[in-house]
Amino acid sequence: MRAAVMTEVRKPWTIKNLPDPKPQAGQVLIRIRASGMCGTDLHVHHGVMPVPLPLVLGHEPVGEIVEVGQGVAGLRAGDRVGVSWAQRGEGRCRFCQEQREGYCPEYQSWIQMGGGNSELMLAWASGCTLVPAGLSDEEAAPIFCAGFTVMSGLRNADPRPGDRVAVLGIGGLGHLAVQYAKALGLEVIAVTGNPEKKEEARRLGAGDVVIASGGLGQALLEAGGADVILGTTNSAAHATQALRGLRPEGRMVNMGLVDGPIQVDPLHFLTNQVRLVGSKQNHRRDLVEALDLAAAGKVKPRLEVYPLERINEVRDRLEAGKVRYRAVIKH
Ligand SMILES: [Zn+2]
Ligand SMILES: [Zn+2]
């Protein structure tokens, strides 16, 4: 199978022919059709998130099951599935008992078996979710990390009807967050430092767009403030500023791996009873909901599609902030 292999930190990935894998008990073998590239791949590439090397990256994989290992119930050859980051726990800890495998200290992910930047990928069957008809492979791929993450973030914010939701950062996650919040009937404000994204943010469903590179919270307050802020930025400074833009009892849900501590103004925090919530992919039902809303046409990932041969160029584009809004490798 052809695969893009990361062999060293900060070095180009190499297209190689690797032996075709065989599924063990509980696993499936997937012929990958589409594989999204995520900001986290950059953290891995730079060694910020260390992984054992060599390794095939890609944690937004979608494809067709071609072989099923022993003891797999439910999934069959021919099924179209995607694979979540957390595929299974060790099955014995408290979190596994509660079916919250994402907290298991020994959970298994693409890091153990390799990801979707490959013609074939092994996955634990328990990590697979069926892709509904009506979604192309390319459209479905980004839902498995970006879409899942923002849907869990929205659910973690506990939005109420009539809430104003500000989306901080309009990129791979943010462009989906705007659409998911809108699909749930919420009023959406896009907050971006890039004036060129204003019209697109409106097309995605934002009722208002705040353009600000500093003093984000003040700018947001002047636009009416927000009950919920969905933070998708990597900038701790921006996240810190944005907190100011929360209305009383507002919730800021942070989904980006920010580059330092988020500062909280104790007086604002206390008098407004605001909450700062960390969020990652949570319940699998959030992923299913995210897939369903996309299949219903209410959310449409904006994509750039490339062949595997151009994967290094794609990663460089992502790093340079040029991707609009998610890059997908199509096999
Ligand atoms: Zn990701
Ligand atoms: Zn466990």
- Provide the pLDDT for residue 34: 98
Distance between Cα 233 and ligand 1 center (Å): 13
Of 246, 262, 278, the residue that ends a domain is 278
> Distance (Å, rounded) from C-alpha 115 to C-alpha 73?
22
Rounded to the nearest whole angstrom, what is the distance from the C-alpha of residue 43 to the centroid of ligand 1? Answer: 10
Q: Each residue's pLDDT tens digit in the chain (331 positions)?
A: 999 999 999 999 999 999 999 999 999 999 999 999 999 999 999 999 999 999 999 999 999 999 999 999 999 999 999 999 999 999 999 999 999 999 999 999 999 999 999 999 999 999 999 999 999 999 999 999 999 999 999 999 999 999 999 999 999 999 999 999 999 999 999 999 999 999 999 999 999 999 988 899 999 999 999 999 999 999 999 999 999 999 999 999 999 889 999 999 999 999 999 999 999 999 999 999 999 999 999 999 999 999 999 999 999 999 999 999 999 999 9
pLDDT of amino acid 242: 96
Which ligand is the nearest neighbour of the Cα of 93?
A: 2
**Strands 246-254 and 275-278, bridge-based pairing:** parallel
Are 32 and 161 in a shared domain? no
Please report which ligand is nearest the Cα atom of 99.
2
User: What is the number of helices (H) and of strands (E) in the chain?
Assistant: 12, 16
Q: How far is the CA of 248 from the centre of ligand 1 (A)?
A: 31
Q: Which H helix or E strand runs over 319?
A: helix 311-319
CA distance 93 to 270: 36
Q: Are 62 and 144 in contact (CB under 8 A)?
A: yes
Question: Helix, strand or coil for residue 283?
Answer: coil
Q: How far apart are CA 189 and CA 201, in angstroms?
A: 9
Nearest ligand to the CA atom of 149: 1
Q: Based on the domain organization, do 158 and 272 belong to the same domain?
A: yes
Q: Ligand 1 center to residue 111 CA distance, Å? A: 12
Tell me, yes or no, whether 259 and 151 share the same domain.
yes
From CA 102, how far away is CA 89, in angstroms rounded? 7
Decide if 250 contacts 272 (C-beta within 8 A): yes
CA of residue 197 to ligand 1 center, whole Å: 22
> For residue 287, what is the domain's CATH number?
3.90.180.10
What pLDDT score does 212 carry? 87
Taking Cα atoms as reference points, which of 89, 138, 106 lies closest to residue 284? 89
Report the domain count for the chain: 2
94: exposed, middle or buried (Cβ count in 10 Å: 0-12, 13-18, 19+) = exposed
Q: Which tokens belong to 85?
A: 């980051």
Distance 148 CA to ligand 1 centre (A): 9
Compute the distance from residue 37 Cα to the ligand 1 centre, in Å. Answer: 7
The answer on 165 and 79 residing in a single domain is no
171 and 292 share one domain: no
Dist. CA 89 → ligand 2 center (Å): 4
Same domain for 249 and 170, yes or no, is yes
**How far is it, in rounded angstroms, from Cα 70 to Cα 57?**
26
Q: Which of 235, 258, 278 is the last residue of a domain?
A: 278
Helix (H) or strand (E) holding 123: strand 120-124
φ/ψ of 257, rounded to 5, equals: -80, 90
Same structural domain, 302 and 258: no
Closest-approaching ligand to the CA atom of 256: 1
Contact call for residues 328 and 34 (beta carbons, < 8 A): yes
What is the whole-number distance in angstroms between the Cα of residue 103 and the centre of ligand 2? 7
Residues bordering ligand 2, an ion, CB closer than 5 Å = 89-90, 93, 96, 104
| Span from the CA of 215 to the centroid of ligand 2 (angstroms) | 42
Peptide bond before residue 54 is cis, with ω within 30 degrees of 0? yes
The token pair at 260 is: 């330092």
Query: In this structure, what CATH number is given to the domain that contains residue 257?
Result: 3.40.50.720
Ligand 1 center to 258 CA (angstroms)? 14
| Nearest Cα to Cα of residue 152 among 284, 30, 3 | 284
Q: Which pair of structure tokens corresponds to residue 121?
A: 């990928």
Domain finish residue from 239, 255, 278: 278
The token duo for 44 is 């891995």
Do the Cβ atoms of 146 and 179 come closer than 8 Å?
Answer: no
Report the largest interatomic distance among the alpha carbons of the chain, rounded to a whole angstrom: 61
pLDDT of residue 200: 94
Q: Which helix (H) or strand (E) holds 124?
A: strand 120-124
CA distance 99 to 110: 19
CA–CA distance from 284 to each of 39, 70, 115, 127, 224 (Å)? 21, 24, 19, 9, 34
Q: Which ligand has the minimum distance to the alpha carbon of residue 97?
A: 2
Domain boundaries, position 81: 2-142+282-330
Whether residue 104 contacts residue 93, with contact meaning beta carbons closer than 8 Å, is answered with yes
